Structure 1
Amino acid sequence: MSMKASTNHKLLYYLNNWVDITEQEEAIILSAFEPTSIKKKKDLLVPGEVCRYVYFVTKGGLRSYFVDSKGVEHIYQIRLDNSWISDLESFFSQRPSKYYIEAMEDTQMLRISHERLEQLYHEVPKLERYFRILFQKAYINALERLNATMWESAVERYNDMLKEHSDIFQRVPLTYIASYLGITPESLSRIRKKK
């Protein structure tokens, strides 16, 4: 299987988990997504730019973060293989983003623009349901993260992260994981030693 076929297969596999897609519809969907890649440490998005795409990560890892007035980075999303990443606020409003999206590894993706996604809804109407579910989940995840930082202990947040990404510690620097969890690297080390 070629790299392109393998990449496309992953996207179709995740779409088919939610909606039944015919072969004809598969061809339409694949033509709407553009394969792209980015090297480790390069930016996919920087503050002040409008986020024009939603990305499906087929292989690699990305993080989104913002930098506060003191110059401290706060990681908002960590996304590894077979997951979606974007700044949805900027993507839907088409206003400038406040976030960076940076590659943590050499990363291969499929991307779709705002305009092309709207077209795709007309061409394959059942996909509107998939993306509605996807965007609802993204909103719920954002609220859960906000609530977790207020109500859950660092250990609970750590355990939730491990459930979601069992291989995360092999692939993502500890400083990034600590920032995502809203704790210091020292606190993260203490939690890991107790496990």
Structure 2
Amino acid sequence: MINENELKEGLIEHLKGMIELSGSDAELIISKLEIKYLKKKEYLLQPGEISKHMRFISQGAMRVYYLDEKSQEHTLQLGIENWWINDLYSYLSLKPSKMYIQALEETIVIQISSGSLDKLFREVKEMPNFFRLKMQSAYVALQERTIENLSMDSYEKYSKFISQYRNIEQRFPQYIIASYLGMAPEFLSYLRKKHASRLK
């Protein structure tokens, strides 16, 4: 049986990895947390909805993707345990999302509503600092990925992906990894076979 208190404590430990929290700070944060259970392939957010929560993956695996005018999927973000996942554009602008956020396994997400987070920003001194650091790292990662997409060939992108994320590669279908890397699934399969000895 799932112990929700342990799940919430897990998020507190995650926060403490970057900021200092007192016991009373932790209790206040825990009081604002919501737990959401998702089945495999269930959606946490769909186009037209406004993202009103910051979301932390406690258990499971998820992705963020959108569909282009030809209904082709483009995966923008992958996430597993202890990663944050969201449509930040929708969350920050309060505009309807164009994204899908989907669970790829049975997943548990811990959410903090925007209203609750605003209160925590005022009442827990270090909370704004945590999200400032997370936003900075997200921006740096986005810029790095943009440069890689412009400067690296397909093999280099895949090789870097598996060297950085070997622990998650096996948890996502190949077509989703291909979409994340901006290539066709068939081409990714070709790369894996061609460079099998180098990719071990």
Q: TM-score range by the shorter chain?
A: over 0.9
What is the aligned-residue RMSD (CA, Å)?
A: 1.5
Report the CA distance shift for 1:30/1:160 in structure 2 as closer, same or farther (over 3 A). farther
Q: Which amino acid aligns with 1:70?
A: K
Q: Which amino acid aligns with 1:165?
A: Y
Pairing of 1:54-65 with structure 2 (within 5 A): 54-65=54-65
Q: Which amino acid aligns with 1:80?
A: I
Does the 8 Å CA contact 2:40/2:104 hold for their aligned counterparts? yes
* Number of the residue aligned with 1:79: 79
1:49 counterpart SS class: coil
Does the 8 Å CA contact 1:92/1:114 hold for their aligned counterparts? no
Structure 1 stretch displaced more, 185-194 or 100-109? 185-194
2:160 counterpart SS class: helix
Does the 8 Å CA contact 2:8/2:33 hold for their aligned counterparts? no
* Number of the residue aligned with 2:179: 179
* Number of the residue aligned with 2:166: 166
Distance 1:129 1:169 in 2: 31
* Number of the residue aligned with 2:117: 117
Report the CA distance shift for 1:2/1:64 in structure 2 as closer, same or farther (over 3 A). closer
How far off its partner does 1:2 sit? 5.9
1:85 counterpart SS class: coil
- CA deviations 1:77-108 (Å, max 9, x no partner) are 01011100010011011011111111111100
* Number of the residue aligned with 1:97: 97
Aligned length: 195
Report the CA distance shift for 1:122/1:148 in structure 2 as closer, same or farther (over 3 A). same
How far off its partner does 1:125 sit? 1.7
Distance 1:143 1:47 in 2: 25
Pairing of 1:39-54 with structure 2 (within 5 A): 39-54=39-54
Does the 8 Å CA contact 1:62/1:105 hold for their aligned counterparts? yes
Does the 8 Å CA contact 1:64/1:100 hold for their aligned counterparts? yes
Q: Which amino acid aligns with 1:167?
A: N
Identity percentage of aligned residues? 35
